[in-house]
Amino acid sequence: MAGPVSFRPGCWLKSAFAIISEPGSKLLSSKGAQLSKAIQNQLNRSFTLDDGSFCLLKNFGSQDLEPIYQLEQRSNPHPWSKRNFEDSLASSHICVGVEEEGRWIAHAVFSIASGDAELLLITVDSAWQGRGVARKAIKIMVEMLEDFAAELFLEVRASNSRAIKMYDQFGFNCLGVRPGYYPSADGREDAHIYGMSLRIG
């Protein structure tokens, strides 16, 4: 049985681009913050699931941390801490969530720097998994990121067949494996590194 559509924070792309919150990179941090702001200004995008549920993709901020954190705790077997979310907001990462009838049912965090983007986290409420929430939300984000980044990268658990299938359908390519990267019930689990070009030509 596939696990939840969820990823842990990662810094494996440090060799490819600088982390925007890294000390000594104020210019990059400023540019990253500007790009994040530009993307966030385009949010509040609605979509409908196959079952007819109406959803809204929108930014989340510090005022939303408690319900976002509670969703993370109950739906991710290896959840982010509240400090992880606070640091992402402070670092001007792109923090988005999906609302359905006024309640959060999913959230995701992206970083963007040096012309590339990374999906750091995506978590879907356990009750909403397998209903197309992640697929619809990521499709919107990919379309938006095309104007700001050349590549999108992510990590996924080797056992997360549901997420791997979805990213294969989006056109992501497996770039490598980090052996034993994730903790698991059996000890450690490999992380698959995926990337996708956002611009053609």
Q: Is residue 7 part of a domain?
A: no
Q: Is residue 96 part of a domain?
A: yes
- Integer Cα distance of 196 and 172 in angstroms: 5
Q: Is residue 79 part of a domain?
A: yes
Q: Which residues of the chain have pLDDT under 50?
A: 1-28, 201
What pLDDT is attached to residue 92?
A: 86
Catalytic residues: 155, 167
* pTM of the complete model: 0.81
CATH code, domain with 69: 3.40.630.30
User: For the chain, what is the domain count?
Assistant: 1
Q: Is residue 149 part of a domain?
A: yes
What pLDDT is attached to residue 43?
A: 80
- Integer Cα distance of 59 and 162 in angstroms: 25
Q: Is residue 5 part of a domain?
A: no
Q: Please give the residue range of the domain that contains residue 96.
A: 12-197
Contact 9, 80 (CB under 8 A): yes
Contact 97, 106 (CB under 8 A): yes
Is residue 152 classed as helix, strand or coil in its secondary structure?
strand
Q: Is residue 25 part of a domain?
A: yes
Q: Is residue 174 part of a domain?
A: yes
4-23: string of b/e by CB count within 10 Å (b at 16+)?
bbbbbebeebeeebbbbbee
Nearest-10 Cα torsion for 126, 129, 124, 142? 180
What pLDDT is attached to residue 32?
A: 60
